[in-house]
A and B are shown apart, each in its own frame.
Chain A
Amino acid sequence: MVQSRKSAIGSMQKYRELRDALLFEDDSESAHHLSRFMNFIDSDDFLQSVIGSVVTSDSFDFETWHNSTAERASQLQGVQALTFPDNNSDEMFIRYSLMKRFNNEKNGIFDFGVLIGDYKETVPRFKSLIVRPFVSELGDMLEDAVGFARTEERDLQAVPLNRIPSEKENRIFLSHKTVDKPLVETYFKALEKIGYYPWMDEPEMPAGTNLERALLAGFQTSCAAVFFVTENFKDEKFLSTEIDYAVREKREKGNRFAIVTLLLGKKVKVPPLLANYVYKNVTNDLEGFYEIVRALPIEVGPLRWKKEVIESES
């Protein structure tokens, strides 16, 4: 499919080049350009796929039309003798047949003057009355044909470099009491699944890790801290340190760091140091997830099919 579209594009470019030469180059060279143009139409696969059925029509009697036009020209000399049927395809067929005839015959385009009984300005008249309407219609047909051949492609996104966070600043720190880990893991998996990089003590702090340094590093590489405040949450020890780190990061990074506190339970209260930042009473995980994503200073990218979906089709 990609190759046929590529060759169609090449055909269209060649078509335009030959068409413009025929229409706009010097009249004295018209026979040459007409020959090139007709040879191309008759031999190019893409053009034949578009126009083939029109130019090989058996339903319209060109010779009868030609003879009746010549007869009319004997009385109405000039372009008044030239009439076309209402049917678009028949009209195109006539124009194509005329161009082909004049290309093949000895006197070439000047036979057009013979046909209409008027020899003034034969070449420009031929271009204006026969060629131009033909190539205009053919151009529309080509455009429609390539439009259909085109595969659906997703638009690209162009993100300014200053909007792309580095790997050292795109984490989301999830602060919680250890006993609440099962709850927070649900949020961890959901955030990871949609494209974020959440940070949790497990797996980020395997056995033997210096806890203080690991926590600090976790905050320094984050753009947000989410505090899961349940009835188990107490502003002391490690959780207290995490609140301090979060506040410090917020002061240093400004809008590029968000502090979100989820109050999970009717009797919980927001820790005093976090009261100046976003906090929400949430009654379910979906609500909590929404509040996190809404408050984050980063957003995930454009839609695409999952890798396994594409691989399953091959």
Chain B
Amino acid sequence: MIDKSKVTDDNNISFNISYALDEGEFLRRECPSCGLQFKTQVSPAQLTGLITPAIQKIYNETHNIENDQAEQLTSEVMTCPYCGQENSASAFFTQEFNDYILRWASREIVFPALENFQNTISQMYSGSKSNSKDFFSLTMKVEKSENYKPIRPISGPEVPDMRIVNLLCSNEKIKIYENWGETLFCPVCANKVLLT
């Protein structure tokens, strides 16, 4: 939920969102170039850093706020371990992850904003207006429709379909397909590595 009292003066928001990682706290990624998937280890702080710009962007667009700084996606760059293509870290989100963020935002940001808008319209345009001098009078009643909040998104269970690789070049761990061959690119430093 967004705690509105925590919207700062420059319209940055704070929020609580959780996403299921697998055992060992690995997040599934997908290469935008070759479409193959792998996993990287993320701390809660890193996950927050990845999610925040996307959430902020949706909030700003919903509330018609311009705040380019807060929306700026992470400058962190990542390399696909399979094809070696480099891209921004946020480009490696899976469709499931993106869907989860959108569904969460739909429920926690967009829906409350729509409710608010409906309330405003309802208050503005309900009632009757007439002019005793005129032939016509107008009575309008606006009823706000009861909308059910979108269902809370669900993540996981994370499928254990990969194995861990310890990258000696960057001291990081990733997970790759179990039947992958001998060489990889390190997602962190882009070094070509050999599996042993």
Contact = CB atoms under 8 A, between A and B. Distances in A.
Given A121-B146, A128-B151, A147-B23, A159 B157 contact: no
B181 to A, nearest CB: 12
Interface stretch (B7-15, B134-142, B165-173): B165-173
Nearest to B172: A158
Contacts of B186: 158, 160
A181 B126 CA distance: 105
- Residue in A128, A155, A156, A302 whose Cβ sees the most chain B Cβ within 10 Å: A156
A248 interface: no
Interface of B is mostly: loop
Interface in B142-158: 146, 148, 150-154, 156-158
- Residue in B158, B161, B165 whose Cβ sees the most chain A Cβ within 10 Å: B161
Interface string B178-196: 0000011010000111111
Interface in A129-174: 132, 135-136, 139-140, 142-143, 146-147, 150, 153, 155-164
- Residue in A120, A142, A158, A160 whose Cβ sees the most chain B Cβ within 10 Å: A158
Contacts of A283: none
Contacts of A136: 154
Given A158-B165, A158-B184, A132 B151 contact: yes
A60 interface: no
Interface stretch (A8-16, A205-213, A288-296): A8-16
A272 interface: no
Contacts of A139: 154, 156-157
B160 A23 contact: no
Interface in B69-98: none
A9 B161 CA distance: 7
Given A156-B166, A158-B166, A125 B196 contact: no
B166 A155 contact: yes
B58 interface: no
Contacts of A143: 156-158
A159 B194 contact: yes
A160 B157 contact: no
A255 to B, nearest CB: 17
Interface in B106-156: 146, 148, 150-154, 156
Contact of A147 (B160, B164, B195): B160
Contacts of A128: 148, 151-152
A160 B169 CA distance: 6
Contacts of A23: 151, 154
A19 interface: yes
B154 A19 contact: yes
A127 interface: yes
A9 B148 contact: no
B151 A24 contact: yes
Interface residues of B, number: 33
Contacts of A146: 157, 159-160
A121 B183 CA distance: 54
Contacts of B193: 158-161
Contacts of A157: 165-166, 168, 195-196
Interface in A84-138: 120-121, 124-125, 127-128, 132, 135-136
B154 A158 contact: no
A218 B193 CA distance: 28
Contact of B157 (A140, A156, A158, A162): A140
Contacts of B194: 158-161, 164
Contacts of B183: 161
A25 to B, nearest CB: 11
Contacts of A135: 154
A124 B107 CA distance: 13
Contacts of B195: 156-158
B151 A124 contact: yes
B13 to A, nearest CB: 24
Given A121-B148, A124-B148, A160-B169, A12 B196 contact: no
Given A136-B154, A160-B186, 6 more contacts: A143-B157, A147-B160, A157-B168, A159-B194, A161-B183, A302-B196
14 contacts: A13-B159, A16-B157, A124-B148, A132-B152, A146-B159, A146-B160, A155-B163, A156-B166, A157-B165, A157-B196, A158-B169, A158-B193, A160-B169, A160-B193
Interface of A: 9, 12-13, 16, 19-20, 23-24, 120-121, 124-125, 127-128, 132, 135-136, 139-140, 142-143, 146-147, 150, 153, 155-164, 301-302
Interface of B: 23, 99, 103, 146, 148, 150-154, 156-161, 163-169, 173, 183-184, 186, 191-196
